[in-house]
Amino acid sequence: MTAILVDGDACPVKAEVEKVAIRHRLDVTIVSNGGLRPSIHPRICHVLVPEGPDAADDWIAAHAGAKDIVITADIPLAARCLQKGARVIAPNGKPFTNDNVGMALGMRELNRHLREVTGGQTYHAGFSKQDRSRFLGELENCIQALKRAG
């Protein structure tokens, strides 16, 4: 059965994931290492992992499977979950795929190197209504594709 795993720290679409999952009768696990307000809905589970680098990522990667959907902006986590056959969507609605995750990892590494060399910082675009809408559409597409695949 399909489940949705959410990289919960700083995820701007948790409420949207919950609404869509409840409508489709899917279980959701929100993983974080910080305190999040738990949902009262029985299909929504919160997992609190210990503080530490990549603890939430490690939990998600260990539990993601071929019929699951992972919601994360973390590119290395996306790559790990894709290797396990999961579908991965960024909160802005852009899907991570086997075809694009390599380029995303490369650009992440390039930006890290540029920050080190120049001492500058990179800026992320703000989260817009269009991002939220694109996310909802892509999540619905993933769910429908998994249902068709049976």
Q: What is the pLDDT of residues 14-33, one digit of tens each?
A: 999 999 999 999 999 999 98
In the chain, where the domains are located: 3-149
Question: What's residue 118's pLDDT?
Answer: 77
CATH topology of domain 3-149: Rossmann fold (3.40.50)
In 3D space, the residue among 4, 9, 16, 128 whose CA is nearest the CA of residue 74 turns out to be 9
Residues facing 28 on adjacent strands: 4, 44
- The 3-state secondary structure of 43-110, one letter per residue: CEEEEECCCCCCHHHHHHHHHCCCCCEEECCCHHHHHHHHHCCCEEECCCCCEECCCCHHHHHHHHHH
Whether 105 shows a pLDDT value over 60: the answer reads no
110 versus 65: which is more confidently predicted? 65
Question: What's residue 106's pLDDT?
Answer: 66
How far is CA 108 from its chain centroid?
17
109 versus 18: which is more confidently predicted? 18
Whether 110 shows a pLDDT value over 80: the answer reads no
pLDDT in tens, 42-84: 999 999 999 888 899 999 999 999 999 999 999 899 999 999 9
Task: 136-139: list long-range contacts, CB under 8 Å, 24+ apart.
Answer: 136/16, 136/20, 136/93, 137/93, 138/89, 138/93, 138/94, 138/95, 139/16, 139/17, 139/20, 139/69, 139/71, 139/89, 139/93
Question: What's residue 33's pLDDT?
Answer: 87
What contacts 76, CB < 8 A, 6 or more positions away? 57, 105, 108
Question: What's residue 51's pLDDT?
Answer: 86
Question: What's residue 71's pLDDT?
Answer: 98
Q: Which two tokens stand for residue 27?
A: 């279980």
pTM of the model: 0.85
Average pLDDT, the chain: 88
